[in-house]
């Protein structure tokens, strides 16, 4: 008798077809910063605190659309999917998946969720003192529970001697953090106008301008080849060099600069150059 060979049969359902179409179609990148800013203002909570009797546990119920549990889960799941550029889900699929999940009762997941929720309650009450918040280190196998005050965000300070640059380095502005940026919101500028703006407003003599992998301007090229670019609009020059259009709704570029501050090296947060109004 011939050897038995199992057949491979692939059944394609309507749901699989939709998923394949979504995976083939790359998600359109969009700039949501203004929308996020507006939503944060709408969602701004009162700093007067909240009464303890106003906090009650909410029982998860996926089949009651009036409690918006599935709507919330679907929204945050799609935010994560869009952030990592993976396939997003519709509300019906989210409800189906949520119905199959076994609740985590006495696991690390449940414990971490509770610890994080406590910190969120502090934030919702308007607490802004860093020492009131806690970092947690927990090992359920021992068991060990340790809580400590979080560190402040690192602030960059000027140095009289930097071992990497082998000289003084000035921070512009002083004490900036990784969350800061310098906003240039004067509309569309040429490279020459941008260089003049940085010199007049921040005392920075710009010699190089880059955004991502694109070098828009380099004063040190042989024969001063980029001198002619000083009369060009920066956003137009970027599109010409990169061969890419800006995503729909994008109105700014993130720039990195090289140059000097009062004759010395400098460190500066990213430059947000807004060439149009949002």
pLDDT digits (tens, 9 = 90+) for 179-208: 999 999 999 999 999 999 999 999 999 999
Query: Which of residues 277 and 213 earns the better pLDDT score?
Result: 213
- Closest Cα to residue 88, out of 99, 101, 77? 77
This prediction's pTM: 0.58
The burial class, CB within 10 Å (0-12 / 13-18 / 19+), for 152 is exposed
In the chain, DSSP assigns E strands to 135-139, 144-148, 159-162, 167-171, 182-184, 204-211, 214-218, 252-261, 265-267, 271-274
Mean pLDDT rounded to a whole number for the chain = 85
Specify the CATH architecture of the domain 159-274: Roll (3.10)
Domains of the chain, residue spans: 48-101, 103-149, 159-274
pLDDT digits (tens, 9 = 90+) for 104-157: 566 788 888 889 999 999 989 989 899 999 999 988 888 899 999 998 889 999
């Amino acid at each position: 008798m011939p050897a038995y060979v199992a057949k491979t049969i692939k059944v394609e359902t309507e749901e699989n077809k939709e998923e394949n179409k979504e995976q083939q179609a790359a998600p359109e990148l969009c700039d949501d910063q203004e929308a996020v800013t507006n939503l944060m203002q709408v969602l701004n909570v009162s700093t007067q605190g909240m009464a303890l009797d106003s906090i009650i546990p909410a029982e998860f119920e996926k089949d009651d659309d009036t409690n918006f549990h599935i709507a919330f889960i679907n929204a945050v799941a799609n935010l994560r999917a869009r952030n990592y550029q993976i396939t997003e889900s519709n509300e019906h699929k989210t409800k189906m998946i949520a119905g199959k999940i076994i609740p985590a009762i006495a696991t690390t997941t449940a414990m971490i969720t509770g610890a994080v929720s406590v910190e969120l309650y502090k934030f919702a009450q308007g607490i802004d003192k860093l020492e009131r918040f806690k970092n947690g280190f927990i090992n359920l196998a021992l068991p060990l529970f340790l809580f400590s005050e979080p560190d402040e965000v690192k602030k960059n300070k000027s140095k009289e001697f930097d071992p990497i640059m082998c000289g003084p380095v000035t921070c512009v502005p002083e004490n900036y953090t990784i969350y800061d940026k310098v906003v240039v919101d004067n509309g569309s500028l040429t490279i020459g106008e941008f260089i003049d703006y940085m010199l007049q407003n921040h005392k920075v003599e710009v010699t190089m301008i880059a955004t991502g992998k694109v070098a828009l301007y380099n004063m040190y090229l042989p024969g001063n080849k980029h001198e002619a670019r000083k009369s060009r609009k920066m956003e137009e020059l970027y599109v010409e060099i990169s061969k890419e259009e800006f995503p729909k709704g994008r109105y700014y570029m993130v720039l990195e600069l090289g140059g000097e501050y009062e004759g010395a090296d400098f460190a500066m947060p990213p430059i947000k150059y807004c060439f149009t109004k949002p």
